């Protein structure tokens, strides 16, 4: 445990940021998984809504620095490919 006041405060700040980052990353993973589990029987409007949420979650995670740029691009590409496949 740190003794210096600024180090104690920094430790608290880091823990809060860590919890926030974990939460946001889990939200992204959940949105992507929700989209990947869809079947072709879903309505077109609902499919589009879930797709947009998943892409938005990936973009948000990238903008916050939780995932790298290329990782975000790869995931969005995978989502777009599946969306095109389901939307036929």
pLDDT in tens, 27-49: 999 999 999 998 766 688 889 99
Residue 72, token pair as written in the block: 């975000």
Sign of CA dihedral 42, 44, 45, 50: positive
Q: The domain spanning residue 81 has which CATH number?
A: 1.20.58.110
Instruction: Say what the pLDDT of residue 35 is.
Output: 94
Residue burial 61-74, b: 16+ Cβ < 10 Å; e: rest: bbeeebbeeeebee
The total domain count for the chain is 1
Residues of the chain falling short of pLDDT 70: 40-42
Helix (H, G, I), strand (E, B) or coil at 4: coil
Task: Specify the pTM.
Answer: 0.86
The residue segments making up the domain with residue 54 are: 5-86
């Amino acid at each position: 445990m740190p003794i210096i006041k600024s180090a104690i405060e920094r430790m608290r700040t880091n823990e809060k940021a860590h919890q926030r980052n974990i939460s946001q990353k889990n939200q992204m993973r959940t949105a992507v998984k929700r989209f990947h589990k869809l079947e072709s029987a879903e309505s077109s409007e609902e499919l589009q809504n879930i797709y947009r949420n998943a892409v938005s979650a990936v973009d948000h995670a990238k903008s916050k620095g939780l995932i790298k740029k290329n990782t975000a691009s790869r995931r969005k590409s995978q989502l777009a490919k599946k969306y095109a496949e389901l939307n036929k």
